[in-house]
Amino acid sequence: MNDISDRSIMAALGRQLTMAVAKQTVTVGNLANLNTPGYKTQSVSFDSMLDAQVKGGPAMAVTQPGHLAGVASAASGGQVEEVKGLDTRRDGNNVVLDRELLNLSRASGDFSKAQIALAAKFRLVRYAISESR
């Protein structure tokens, strides 16, 4: 049976927070370029990084003698790619305000959920520490 440890919970929450921030950053960039001629809508894709992580992941480079080798985080480097299939306006821009606001709202909700779970985890730790006195 696969036990869920505190470390794995914290790592998963950290990845969720990182992914939400990456999605918010790209969405805000899209909103900032709403009226930029020729700008194409971007999105963050974590699929390729997740596949690499599951298959053993790309090893991080050891550039200094004191560095430790490890595996790159799946959430740390999602690929930013152009969104296909959106209607393009006459100026070549394809950013849709409603779509981007919805994406921003979803990313904000994902961040908030992970933050609430993380806060609850820390409250449990604080409670355990204060009860042991």
Please check whether residue 80 lies inside any domain of the structure: yes
Please check whether residue 66 lies inside any domain of the structure: yes
Please check whether residue 61 lies inside any domain of the structure: yes
Please check whether residue 93 lies inside any domain of the structure: yes
Please check whether residue 108 lies inside any domain of the structure: yes
Please check whether residue 21 lies inside any domain of the structure: yes
**pLDDT for 77:** 57
CB neighbourhood size of 99 (10 A): 15
Domain interval for residue 57: 6-128
**pLDDT for 46:** 76
Please check whether residue 133 lies inside any domain of the structure: no
**pLDDT for 51:** 65
Please check whether residue 52 lies inside any domain of the structure: yes
Residues of the chain scoring pLDDT < 70? 1-3, 48-64, 66-77, 133
In sequence order, the β-bridge partners of residue 59 are 71
- Alpha carbon distance 128, 133 (integer Å): 9
* Segments in 33-73 forming alpha helices (H): 47-54
How much is the mean pLDDT over the chain?
82
Count of domains forming the chain? 1
Between CA 122 and CA 9, with CA 46 as vertex, the angle to 5 degrees is 20
